[in-house]
């Protein structure tokens, strides 16, 4: 391994960038923001790095101070500083308060040949303190919150490391010590946080070592830095925050319409229905089989008349018999093998070739085909299934480079192709449901989900930390398939001694799985407090009335609660658009001074007010809930108040999701509606006293990008706890164009 040492190395610099060189290579240090430093180490002269997903450039407006001392060099930004030791080459990072954040102690470029090209294996080692915890790195379903002490594979894997569910590799690690590291390398990378007092990164392919250190006093400061580097998350259509009805699968146009009509006849809230895979004659047609979907345009029009939108599953796979295969093959726009031949699946999966959307021209073709086949018929949002892609590019070749070099970028370029085409050609905001992600994919109008998980209590339980770490990686929108995607096996692993819901009304759907209605209800309760709220699964029926009247009553309760909370949730979406901060939040983000929350994996904050504690044990009718220190807490259902910093046992009968509200909260609550096109004219401000509070209530037209030109309303709400008064102000406290008057009513909850 090449071990850098800058002893005696000359240092050249302009007023903004340090460049250190010796016979072993060149190190550059550059500012990308007031709290963002980029470090790169090249084997020889610096060159332009691809930086997949990073859209920012060095920031010329940031004040930079560079000093040269006897011991080394100091690179100072307003909120972050790097000190380079002249003798050892180590780089230490401190924040504006003088707190030592971390230190780069070792780094190397080891020559290697991978996929036929000469390259380097890249490594870097950072100091890890004893009380440091680590979050992010994408989605990993191994039931961990704090990832300290584990080697994490940072690459996409449909099966996961041990078959525990799909892994999504995103090289962004966030700690509880006021900093994060973005490791700029899309090849197969391993990160070992906090092992033997160090955090090590190793990547299989790279021409240089490249990483960013970002810092902040709060977790939200770190996510603002991530947003600065990789792009903002657009406002989703408001419908994306409502209920999405889906199953594997609605097989015909008539079947979907019948379910949609029944949803409306029952008066149950819903905004989006989904047409899943196998709706085509041939995979790759990017069109519907008219034997089963004879008039998709008429179907979408009827759905629209019921204020329901339709999402379409679009795959990146093309069979030879499909209408687009020959055009793509003739242009060389499929993933290739070492001999330059199209990779037509793999031996155990011959379901077609993968379009190479790392090539922008192929991406443009793909969107145009989607628009022609689906958008012209009235479909408005896109499910980019299998976009890891599921035929792993690692041993193959893409336009952007060898599969080994750019293993992780496909979901970034694939969703970008769809997003950019949609924004150009369609008036309604883009919504993409993506199965995988990479740095910057949040800027493509995306929400994500945890793939084809099993319908078990174990998989359900592991969704909570998996989703929290994924959101901690800088992605606001995520969900799991409520109820699990995989079909229930013929025989259950065990027969429960006790079940909380009568299984008999659902027997035709659940088979011998007596506890499944209970599992579905518990999962649905959790899903109603996820950023995206979507049911899915391989079941004969999968609607809220499918699991018996007892279950139906409970499911509708949470459907209606979700929609009553839409003013709160939509305002959280605005805050994410503005700041980059996720709103499904691990407890360490909001309670950094409470060490007890660092590895809590089954509770989280949903925005600034709600503490959510899902029930994940079969037949449980109570659970222990830890109430973080530094606040008092109200039981949402009973109004009882508790001091923080302790655990309590909470009643949780089958109709109750344990919910607490932080004292010092204002929650805007609207009237019941059936879909988000209905305006909630009468907003109640539910005040939970005990501390001062503030909340920015946001609204816009919910569908277009007019908000980017300032067409929105923003109402600033402040609660003065000592005075017992609320103040409502703001430059945009009035209306956005086309809106109706908004009446705010104060409701005391304390």
- What is the distance between the alpha carbons of residues 91 and 73, in angstroms, rounded to a whole number? 9
Strands 91-95 and 693-699: unpaired
Q: Provide the 3-class DSSP secondary structure of residue 750.
A: coil
pLDDT of 743:
67
The residue among 2 and 501 whose pLDDT is bigger is 501
- What is the distance between the alpha carbons of residues 44 and 66, in angstroms, rounded to a whole number? 23
Size of the chain in residues: 750
CA of residue 184 relative to chain centroid, distance: 19
Q: Which residues are bridge partners to 94 per DSSP?
A: 81, 100
DSSP H or E run through 589: helix 587-590
pLDDT of 10:
52
Contacts of residue 269, defined as CB under 8 A and 6 or more positions apart, other chains included, come to 242, 243, 559, 560, 562, 563, 672, 673, 674, 675
Question: What is the tens place of the pLDDT at every residue in 514-530?
Answer: 999 999 999 999 999 99
pLDDT of 678:
97
Question: Tokens representing 488?
Answer: 């229930």
Q: What are phi and psi of 577, to 5 degrees?
A: -60, -35
Residue bearing tokens 């070592």: 209
Helix H, strand E, coil C: the string for 357-385 is: CCCHHHHHHHHHHHHHHCHHHCCCEEEEC
Catalytic residues: 385, 388, 452
**Contact predicate 418/441, CB 8 Å:** no
Give the E-state strand segments of 430-488 in sequence order: 432-434, 446-449, 478-479
pLDDT of 5:
41
Neighbours of 440 (CB within 10 A): 22
Query: What average pLDDT does the segment 227-233 reach?
Result: 98
- What is the distance between the alpha carbons of residues 520 and 615, in angstroms, rounded to a whole number? 12
Percentage of residues in the chain having pLDDT higher than 90: 91
- What is the distance between the alpha carbons of residues 395 and 155, in angstroms, rounded to a whole number? 14
Percentage of residues in the chain having pLDDT higher than 70: 96
Question: Tokens representing 568?
Answer: 């709160």
Residue bearing tokens 């496909």: 410
Helices (H) and strands (E) in the chain, counts: 12, 43
pLDDT-derived band at 408, boundaries 50, 70, 90 = very high
pLDDT-derived band at 1, boundaries 50, 70, 90 = very low
pLDDT of 736:
57
Give yes or no for residue 471 having a pLDDT over 90. yes
Lowest mean pLDDT among 22-36, 268-282, 365-379, 430-444: 22-36
pLDDT-derived band at 162, boundaries 50, 70, 90 = confident
- What is the distance between the alpha carbons of residues 508 and 330, in angstroms, rounded to a whole number? 49
Question: What is the tens place of the pLDDT at every residue in 573-590?
Answer: 999 999 999 999 999 999
Question: What is the tens place of the pLDDT at every residue in 34-88?
Answer: 999 999 999 999 999 999 999 999 999 999 999 998 899 999 999 999 999 988 8
pLDDT of 6:
39
Contacts of residue 631, defined as CB under 8 A and 6 or more positions apart, other chains included, come to 591, 644, 662, 663, 664, 690, 691
Question: Tokens representing 232?
Answer: 């903002």
pLDDT of 732:
56
Average pLDDT, the chain: 95
**Contact predicate 372/345, CB 8 Å:** no
pLDDT of 350:
84
DSSP H or E run through 326: helix 325-331
Give yes or no for residue 13 having a pLDDT over 80. no
């Amino acid at each position: 391994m090449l071990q850098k040492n800058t002893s005696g190395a000359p240092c050249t610099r302009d007023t903004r960038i340090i460049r250190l060189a010796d016979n072993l290579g060149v190190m550059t240090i550059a500012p990308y923001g007031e709290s963002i430093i980029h470090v790169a180490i090249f084997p020889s002269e610096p060159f332009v790095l691809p930086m997949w997903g990073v859209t920012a450039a060095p920031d010329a407006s940031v004040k930079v101070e560079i000093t040269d001392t006897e011991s080394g060099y100091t690179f100072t930004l307003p909120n972050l500083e790097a000190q380079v030791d002249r003798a050892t080459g180590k780089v230490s990072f401190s924040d504006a308060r003088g707190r030592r954040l971390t230190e780069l102690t070792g780094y190397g470029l080891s020559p290697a040949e991978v996929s036929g090209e000469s390259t380097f294996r890249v490594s870097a080692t950072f100091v890890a303190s004893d009380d440091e915890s680590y979050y992010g790195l994408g989605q990993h379903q191994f039931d961990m919150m704090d990832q300290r002490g584990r080697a994490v594979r940072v690459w996409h894997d449909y099966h996961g490391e041990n078959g525990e569910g799909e892994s999504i590799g995103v090289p962004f690690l966030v700690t509880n010590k006021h900093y994060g590291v973005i490791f700029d390398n899309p090849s197969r990378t391993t990160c070992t946080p906090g092992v033997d007092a160090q955090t090590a990164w190793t990547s299989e392919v790279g021409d240089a070592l490249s990483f960013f250190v970002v810092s902040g006093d709060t977790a939200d400061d770190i996510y603002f830095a991530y947003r600065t580097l990789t792009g903002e998350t657009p406002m989703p259509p408001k419908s994306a925050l409502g209920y999405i009805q889906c199953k594997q699968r609605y097989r015909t146009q008539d079947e979907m319409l019948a379910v949609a009509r029944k949803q409306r006849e029952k008066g149950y809230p819903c905004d989006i229905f989904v047409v899943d895979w196998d709706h085509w004659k041939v995979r790759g047609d990017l069109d519907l089989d008219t034997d089963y979907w004879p008039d998709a345009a008429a179907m979408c029009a009827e759905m629209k008349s019921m204020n329901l939108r339709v999402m379409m599953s679009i795959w990146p796979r093309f069979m030879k018999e499909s209408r687009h295969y020959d055009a793509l093959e003739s242009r060389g726009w499929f993933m290739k093998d070492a001999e330059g031949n199209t990779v037509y699946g793999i031996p155990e999966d011959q379901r077609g070739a993968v379009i190479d959307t790392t090539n922008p021209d192929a991406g443009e073709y793909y969107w145009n085909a989607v628009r022609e086949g689906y958008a012209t018929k009235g479909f408005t949002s896109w499910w980019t299934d299998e976009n890891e892609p599921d035929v792993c590019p690692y041993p193959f070749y893409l336009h952007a480079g060898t599969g080994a070099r750019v293993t992780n970028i496909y979901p970034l370029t694939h969703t970008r192709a769809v997003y950019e085409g949609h924004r150009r050609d369609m008036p309604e905001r883009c919504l993409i449901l993506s199965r995988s992600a990479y740095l910057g994919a949040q800027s493509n109008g995306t929400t994500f989900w945890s793939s084809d998980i099993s319908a078990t209590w174990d998989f359900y339980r592991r969704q909570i930390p998996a989703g929290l770490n994924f959101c901690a990686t800088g992605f606001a929108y995520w969900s799991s398939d409520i109820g699990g995607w995989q079909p229930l096996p013929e025989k259950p692993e065990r027969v429960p001694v006790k079940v909380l819901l009568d299984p008999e009304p659902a027997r035709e759907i659940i088979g011998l799985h007596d506890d499944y209605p209970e599992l579905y209800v518990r999962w649905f309760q959790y899903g109603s407090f996820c950023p995206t709220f979507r049911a899915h699964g391989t079941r004969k029926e999968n609607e809220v009335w499918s699991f018996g009247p007892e279950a139906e009553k409970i499911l509708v309760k949470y459907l209606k609660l979700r929609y009553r909370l839409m003013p709160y949730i939509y305002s959280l979406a605005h805050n994410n658009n503005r700041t980059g901060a996720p709103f499904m939040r691990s407890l360490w983000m909001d309670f950094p001074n409470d060490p007890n929350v660092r590895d809590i994996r089954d509770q989280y904050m949903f925005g600034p007010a709600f503490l959510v504690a899902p029930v994940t044990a079969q037949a449980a009718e109570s659970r222990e809930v830890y109430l973080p220190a530094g606040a008092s807490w109200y039981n949402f259902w009973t109004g009882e108040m508790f001091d923080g910093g302790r655990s309590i046992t909470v009643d949780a009968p089958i109709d109750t999701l344990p919910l607490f509200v932080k004292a010092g909260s204002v929650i805007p609550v609207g009237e019941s509606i059936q879909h988000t096109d209905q305006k909630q004219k009468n907003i109640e401000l539910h005040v939970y006293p005990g501390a001062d509070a503030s909340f920015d209530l946001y609204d816009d037209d919910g569908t277009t990008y007019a908000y980017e030109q300032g067409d929105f309303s923003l109402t600033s709400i402040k609660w003065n706890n000592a005075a017992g008064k609320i103040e409502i102000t703001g430059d945009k406290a009035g209306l956005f164009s086309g809106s109706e008057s908004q009446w705010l009513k104060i409701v005391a909850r304390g």
